[in-house]
Amino acid sequence: MNKPLMAKATAVWLVDNTTLSFKQIADFCGMHELEVQGIADGDVAVGVKGFDPVASNQLDVSEIEKGQKDPRHKLKLKRNPAAEGEEKRRGPRYTPLSKRQDRPAAILWLVKFHPELADSQIAKLVGTTKPTIASIRDRTHWNIQNIQPIDPVALGLCRQSELDAAVQKAAKRKAVEGGAMTDDERRKLLSTETSLAMSDEPRLPSSIAGLENFSLTRDEESEAQNDKLDADSFFNLPEADDDEDEDH
């Protein structure tokens, strides 16, 4: 076991209660550095309650102090027998009756904050069916107006390690398919080195859309035509008759 129990909740606690760098927390919790930054900004792990790794005997206070003094120090996870065997689960998932009414809220949270997850992954995490997931994606669920997104880990429908494994699997699939094109997808799915190496797509303001081929340069033909123009040609004045001038 190379990650603490409830890795994302542990990261939330470390962000709120220590001055460790994002990279230190990410390495300790097995997460992406930008995901930890998202936790600090309030964009990731919304509603997740912090989990104290010191109280759960997973991290020593001395390790935190060393890490705060030296940004290059890597936190060492203490051996926790309770964490052994957490990564593997066999057999179909059973959702207790008392938690089944929470599944729509968990599905909406996964669809909103992890759109890269496939329906089969969400069904496995929450213990639901694909038609239910599709109805929430399409907002055709009969109770969609009253559903609020809630982290399935906080609801107890899945473990943090299972959610992290599903997200990492989806990230690898996206990288192979070449589907991570937006900045948001880069932060969620790609490594820091890959994300920073990719160039941003050029964007034009909507007010000048359609003027991509507009040019301010003057070609030789237009310059030659402009040289032939004079003031009289603009007003199309008729030539004056000498007899009329004498009469007036």
Question: Which pLDDT tens digit goes with each residue over 93-148?
Answer: 556 666 778 899 999 999 999 988 999 999 989 988 899 999 999 999 999 999 99
Structure confidence at residue 161 as a pLDDT band (50, 70, 90): confident
Residue 58 phi, psi dihedral angles, 5° rounding: -110, -15
In the predicted model, what is the mean pLDDT of the chain?
75
pLDDT digits (tens, 9 = 90+) for 188-232: 544 445 545 555 555 555 555 555 555 555 555 555 555 555 555
Query: How far is CA 208 from each of CA 211, 214, 216, rounded to the nearest angstrom?
Result: 6, 10, 15
Residue that has been written with the tokens 């109805």 in this structure? 135
Give the separation between CA 145 and CA 151, rounded to whole angstroms: 18
CB 27 within 8 A of CB 75: yes
Residue 200 phi, psi dihedral angles, 5° rounding: -75, 150
CA atoms within 13 A on the CB side of 10: 27
pLDDT of 4 above 80: yes
Q: Count H helices, E strands: the chain?
A: 14, 0
pLDDT digits (tens, 9 = 90+) for 27-65: 998 888 888 888 888 888 778 888 888 888 888 889 999
Predicted local confidence at residue 96, as pLDDT: 63
CB 118 within 8 A of CB 172: no
How far is C-alpha 210 from the chain's CA centre? Answer: 30
Which pair of tokens denotes residue 142?
């009969």
Amino acid at 123: A
Residue that has been written with the tokens 């959702």 in this structure? 95
Give the separation between CA 235 and CA 87, rounded to whole angstroms: 86
Amino acid at 131: P
0.75 exceeded by pTM: no
pLDDT of 248 above 80: no
